[in-house]
Structure 1
Amino acid sequence: MRKQNKKQKAVTNLHLSSLKKGEQKKEAADSEKQAVFQRTKSLEHTLPKLKKQRQKKLFSRLIMLILLFSFAILIVVYFISPLSKVDIVSVRGTKEVADQEIIDESGIKSGGNLWEIFFERNKISGEVVSELPQVKSMKIVLDGLNDYTLEIQEYETVAYLVKDNKYYNILENGKIVNESRKVSIGNPPIFKEFEENKALKEMIAQYQSLNENIQNSISEVQYTPSEVDDYLIKLYMNDGNEVIASIPSFAEKMNYYPDMVKKVGDQKGTINIEVGAYFSPFKYSEDKKEESNGTSDENGIELVPEEAQ
């Protein structure tokens, strides 16, 4: 009996075990089917998104290519069109130098390459300044779409050098312009016997430091160097007087000129301010003026400006 019961229990356990294994296999199969279903369902949702993303990328690339080609075509069209060529060249700021002379020296012409000139504008400006002594600086400005304006700053003309009845501009930097004219223009004084040297530069500096009233009272300045003084000058004043001076001390002493003239009254003569301050009246003989040497003599007057007393 016991043996039979044990056998029955064993058979029953075996049967249960088989059932459990079957159920486990079934559950595993169901799980696998579920996983396959989920993957399938996920792919059904993912594929359209991937397709849209791919189409979007292709469309973006297409737009970029179209833009690049369009830009390239526009550049080509621009460079073969009149807009890439210089149209009008104008000059602004000149007083002494002719506008056409500036344009010719710059080499900028209507129809020239607009951008080649733009990128070489500093070089062109430097060449113009070096070739034309009256030009202090030049700036090339793109005006509008394809016009250029040459903005000029000139050296000021402070005097005129007279030579062989021709007048040459003397600039503030001490340069003498080679081109001559038949007459002087404006109020600058006339310089005689000067050359481009240290004495001329010093004379310009001294002259520019004078006040405007005294500048306007000077008609001519003659360079008369001596063995004693390399900077000796003689001035012819608009009031009829003459002044002998030394360039280094010229401006300082000429500031007292109005007071000196008051002291001599209506007399005309030579005022020597090279050393000290002396007045010698002109001597006249048969309506002819005889110039004195400007030193103190029996008719001379020693002048002491009021400011120096």
Structure 2
Amino acid sequence: MAKHQKPNKKKNELPTQPSSWDKIKALFKLSRESDEVKSFETAKKSKEKELSLENKLPKLKEKRRKEMQRRLISLLLLFSFAILVVVYFITPLSKVGRITVIGTNEVTDQAVIDASQIRSGDSLWETFFSQKKRETLVKNQLPQVKSMQIEFDGLNSYELVVSEYKTVAYLEKENEYFNILENGKIVNESRKVSIGNPPIFIKFKEGKALNKMIEQYQLLNENIHNSISEVEYTPSKTDEYLITLYMNDGNQVVASITSFAEKMIYYPDIVQKIGEGKGVINIEVGVYFTPFEPEPSEEESKVSDTEE
């Protein structure tokens, strides 16, 4: 009789779970592999740096050498310049040598040099940088000087370039003549005779009337200027700017300073209409002519003396 065999029942097989030891071994292996990779990368980078430094080292040496050369050259130039400066200020080249003056007409060259207080042997650069002070000194002492510039005329020579106020007239006072400048100033220094063609002003003084007279006079042309001999300031109660002109042709002109230039331009036409007669031409308000009284002849003078 056959034996009945029991069928084999297969148990459900579950996946085997790694033990703790296996986990530790796996982590250790990963850590070691990671360290090896890092070591390899570190070694690789170190090698690359070494190669880079080897390549850069000659260039760095050359660059450093050039920088040192530049510094050395800079120091040499600096010291050389300092030595030259010291030597320069010791030599006569740093002192004022020759002094010349140009542009003077009313004043003398020596007067300008004396007023500027520039002397041979003075510090060249100190003098140059004190131009304003020197100009002020000259203008204070010489009112004829409008401006003065100091310019180099060689290595250590100066040229004083002067601009002057023009003399427009002469003030007559006690048989002496004083320059009247275009800016209305009267020069204190006198002379015995007037020079050139400027007219003689009488009884004027610095102030508003003189300034207006100069302004009006300069508006006239040269022909009118040359026809005027003297201008006398003769103010009245009705006109503080009244003047009397003595002309070179023998006439006299009475005018007001305020309208002098406007009316005086017609003087040649007025004289032409008058003809040969001489007298006083009043242009203060209108135009009036009053002939001079005829001087007595020699016979009339003798008769007058006999009657006396």
Give TM-score, length-normalised by structure 1. 0.77
SS at match of 1:159: strand
- Give the CA RMSD over aligned residues: 2.7
Q: Output one character per residue of 1:148-180: Cα deviation in whole Å (capped at 9) or x when no partner.
A: 111111111100001111110001111100011
Match of 1:72 in 2: 82
Aligned residue among 223, 230, 237 for 1:227: 237
SS at match of 2:294: strand
Q: CA separation in 2, counterparts of 1:205 and 1:36?
A: 95
Match of 1:204 in 2: 214
SS at match of 1:244: strand
Q: Output one character per residue of 1:94-130: Cα deviation in whole Å (capped at 9) or x when no partner.
A: 1101111111111111111111112221232233223
SS at match of 1:284: coil
Comparing 58-67 with 48-57, greater Cα deviation is found at 48-57
Match of 1:165 in 2: 175
In structure 2, do the counterparts of structure 1 residues 283 and 77 end up closer, same or farther at CA, with 3 Å as the change threshold?
same
Q: Which letter maps to 2:102?
A: R
Comparing 224-233 with 155-164, greater Cα deviation is found at 224-233
Q: Can you give the 5+ residue segments of structure 1 that lack an aligned partner in the other structure?
A: 1-23, 289-309
Q: CA separation in 2, counterparts of 1:35 and 1:204?
A: 96
TM alignment of 1:73-88, pairs within 5 A: 73-88=83-98
Match of 1:214 in 2: 224
SS at match of 1:188: coil
Q: Output one character per residue of 1:244-278: Cα deviation in whole Å (capped at 9) or x when no partner.
A: 11111111111111121122211111111122111
Q: Output one character per residue of 1:34-75: Cα deviation in whole Å (capped at 9) or x when no partner.
A: 998877766665544444333333222222211111111011
Aligned residue among 197, 203, 218 for 1:187: 197
Q: Which letter maps to 1:255?
A: I
Larger radius of gyration: 2
Match of 2:124 in 1: 114
SS at match of 1:178: strand
In structure 2, do the counterparts of structure 1 residues 42 and 238 end up closer, same or farther at CA, with 3 Å as the change threshold?
closer
Aligned residue among 266, 278, 282 for 1:272: 282
Q: CA separation in 2, counterparts of 1:39 and 1:256?
A: 104
Match of 2:267 in 1: 257
Q: Which letter maps to 1:57?
A: E
Q: Percent identity?
A: 63
Match of 1:152 in 2: 162
How big is the shift at 1:31?
11
Match of 1:248 in 2: 258
Q: Output one character per residue of 1:277-301: Cα deviation in whole Å (capped at 9) or x when no partner.
A: 111111134359xxxxxxxxxxxxx
Q: CA separation in 1, counterparts of 2:238 and 2:91?
A: 71
Give TM-score, length-normalised by structure 2. 0.78
Q: Can you give the 5+ residue segments of structure 2 that lack an aligned partner in the other structure?
A: 1-32, 34-38, 299-308
How big is the shift at 1:197?
1.3
TM alignment of 1:2-81, pairs within 5 A: 46-81=56-91
Q: Output one character per residue of 1:173-227: Cα deviation in whole Å (capped at 9) or x when no partner.
A: 1110001111111100011111001111111111111121111100011111122
Aligned pairs, number = 265
